[in-house]
Structure 1
Amino acid sequence: MKLTETTFQDGTPVDGYGPGFFRIGGQRYEGAVLVLPGQVAAWGGYEDTAPLIAAAGDVDVILVGTGAMMTHLPPAFRSALEQAGIGVEQMASEQACRTYNVLLGEGRRVALALLPA
């Protein structure tokens, strides 16, 4: 079997995660975090849609990690993003991290909003 290392030219990959934290681009972040093109920052949760909407021209889909288990997104949160023309997919945070890395490795225009497990 031949293994090929994935390069992430257009974004910052998630390196790891654990209870209450994420490791992104070699840095450890506690609590909720956003991974947008060219930026990793703390996130205020579902009420904090402004930075996601501001990224509408740079991303096609935002993966939302809802914590340890997949839960429904608040309708107002989903609606705000969809009205801005952004696709939204929710899943448990661990799955969101893995899916984000795969899509990022494919060169897709993707962002990540994560709640800790």
Structure 2
Amino acid sequence: MRLTEITYGSALAIESYGPGFFRVGTHVLRGASLITPWDAGAWGGLLDMAAPLSLAGKIDVLLVGLGPEVSVIPRGFRLALEEVGIGVEPMNTPAACRTYNVLLGEGRRIAAAVLPVP
């Protein structure tokens, strides 16, 4: 099998994650984080809709990492994002990190809102 190294250009990939942290570029983020191809920072969790809503028109899909297990996203959170044209994909945090990097490598308009794993 031939393997090809993925390059992201200037976009920010999730380099690693672990108990309570995410490494994005040269930064280590602690706690819940919102990661886009151009920026990464703290996120207030599922009650913080303002930060993801500010991405309207810039992304098509928000991957939501819900920690070690998949759980239900609050209906209001999902509906608010869908109203502004952002699709919401819930998954566990490890899957959200991997999926974000794959879609980033494909040039997709995505972001990840991730809760840390213990």
**TM-score normalised by structure 1 residue count:** 0.94
Give, in whole Å, the separation in 2 of the partners of 1:43 and 1:110. Answer: 16
Unaligned runs of 5+ in 2: none
Q: What are the equivalent positions in structure 2 for 1:33-52 lying under 5 Å apart? A: 33-52=33-52
Rounded to whole Å, the distance in 1 between the matches of 2:109 and 2:10 is 8
Give the superposed CA RMSD: 1.2
Alignment-derived partner of residue 23 in structure 1: 23
Return 5+ residue gaps in structure 1 as ranges: none
AA in 2 matched with 1:87: G
1:26-77 Cα offsets, whole Å, 9 max, x none, are 3211100001241111000112111211111110000000001011101111
Q: Measure how far apart 1:96 and its partner are.
A: 0.2
Aligned to 1:93: 93
CA distance in 2, matches of 1:102, 1:93: 14
Q: Secondary structure at the match of 1:16?
A: strand
Cα displacement (A) at 1:10: 5.8
Identity, % of aligned positions? 52
Query: How far 1:9 moved relative to its partner?
Result: 2.7
Q: How many residues align?
A: 117
* Cα distance between partner residues in 1 of 2:38 and 2:52: 13
